[in-house]
Structure 1
Amino acid sequence: MNTHLTRDPFPTPEQAYANAPSILDEIGWTARTLAARQCFTKLDRVFYLRKAALLDRIALLDEPDTPGEVTETAVAAASTCSTWIGPTSSVTRATTSVSSTPAP
């Protein structure tokens, strides 16, 4: 008996973000986190993961066939984030799959 799953191993954006805080809440959290730190303070991995997920969710609001400025910003942020958490990050894969525009 073959036990290999034939489904896509990655969740849909709707599944991945089903229990996530609202986009507005995450924007607020990001702003509060940055406001509480001095300039050039090193931020932890959680900050960059949440910021990348936020930008991914915003990019998903763009029309899927016509990447816009929001998508390009999210892809760039995910590329930057991948230097902190590694290039195989699911955040990077999820964000770059939204756009046909290659990451810088």
Structure 2
Amino acid sequence: MNWVILIIAGLFEVGFASCLGKAKETTGTESYLWYAGFLVCLTISMVLLMKATQTLPLGTAYAVWTGIGAVGTVLMGIFVFNEPATFWRIFFICTLIASIVGLKAVSN
């Protein structure tokens, strides 16, 4: 169950990074709403990470959390913010995913 919580925490990390990207593109009230979304996602992500690390090894949990956030944020950048999807970006995203799966496989 704590792995599911950790995955959800990682998805909220993607959410807070994406909110920052959208806030940068907007002005006025809309920008403040994106910053509010950032704070909500940040809070939820941290609380869930804290809950997951109560039973999972801290180093593994943190690496998986940041990995999910990194992969998700890069994919959001490609699909939402029209960032380039070059061969090397995709290659290194795949190696990051393989590393995350490997860490989960060797954890208790």
Q: TM-score range by the shorter chain?
A: 0.3 to 0.5
TM-score, scaled to structure 2 = 0.32
Question: TM-score scaled by structure 1?
Answer: 0.32
Higher relative contact order (Cα pairs below 8 Å, separated by 6+ residues): 2
